[in-house]
Structure formats: structure tokens, C-alpha cells
Amino acid sequence: MKTYIKIALFIVSFIALSGILAALYFYNLKHTDMAKAKPDFVITASVLQKAFEDDETAASTRYINKILEVTGTIASVNPAENNILSISLVTGSGISSVICTFPAIADPSKFSTGHKITLRGECSGFLMDVLLNNCAVIQ
């Protein structure tokens, strides 16, 4: 085999291999680990809820898809289907809170109503409450 063919073959297989590796890397990409992620905003549950209630459009642009570190008092602990756990945080509003949903690993006994908590999660937006997903407890 001529040298230039060998070189060409090498280059082609190198590109193909890096393509496959890159595809595998992206395919298996994990969700951001909130315990290690750097928060985009550090905020209290009351301020966050009020921001959405006052101006949902502005708050959506500002907070959705961002990592928020939220501090608040636990209003309730709600186990959901498939061992998923949600907690809601006290805000200035009687009906609307900040609901933080944890991945399946969270242990409900770690959370008790009335305790102060700081957690990090990704903001999905606002229904009746501000919703945070993929949460991790910081403090």
C-alpha cells in the first residue's frame, strides 16, 4: 500500500472514531449535578414567588432554565409517584409556593415541616407555584 493511502486511511478512521466518541459522549451526557453546579441566582423562596406573581413574563425570561439556590422554610413534604419527593416552601402568598422536586434518591425523613432549608435546582417556570426540578439540598 502506498504511503499516501495509508495516511488517508488513518485520517478517515481518526475522524470516524472521534465522531463516534463524540456521539457517544453526547448521548450519555448526564444531567447537571446540582450539588456541584454554580448557581445563576441566589434567592429566597418569597422573593422568587413574588417575582413570578408580579410579572410572569419577566420572571420567566430571568429564571427559567437557570440554576437557582433558594432558601426558605419547608411548608410541606409530599411524596409523589415512583419514590419522587417534592417539598414546598413558605412564601408570602397563601396559595402559591415554591415546589422543589428531588430525584428518586431523596429520603423524606431528612425533611421536616417548619425547618429552614437551602437547595439548588433548575427552574421550570410557574403554574400555580414556582417549580424547581432536579433539586439537591445544600444546607
Partner 1 sequence: MKHIAILFFLLVSGYAANAQKYMTKNGLIGFYSITPMEEIKADNNQVAGVIDAGTGEMVFQVLIKSFHFERALMEEHFNENYMESEKYPKSTFKGKITDLSSVNLSKNGTYYVTVDGDLTIHNVTNKVSMKGTIEVITGGINANSKFNIVPEDYKINIPGVVREKINKNLEVTVAMKYSPLENK
Question: Which residues sit at the interface with partner 1, rule CB under 8 A?
Answer: 26-32, 53, 56, 60, 64-65, 78, 80-82, 84, 86, 88, 95-96, 99, 101, 124-129, 131, 133-134
Minimum gap (Å) between residue 42 Cβ and partner 1: 21
Residue 14 or 33 having the CB closest to partner 1: 33
Hey, what amino acid is at 58?
Answer: A
Question: Least CB distance from residue 70 to partner 1, whole Å?
Answer: 15
User: Which H/E stretch holds residue 18?
Assistant: helix 3-27
Contact between 37 and 120 under an 8 Å Cβ cutoff? The reply is yes
Among residues 30 and 38, whose Cβ is nearest to partner 1?
A: 30
15-26: string of b/e by CB count within 10 Å (b at 16+)?
Answer: eeeeeeeeeeee
- Which residue number, 8 or 20, has a Cβ lying nearer to partner 1? 20
Min CB(131)–partner 1 separation in Å: 5
Closest-CA residue to 102 (of 90, 115, 91, 111): 111
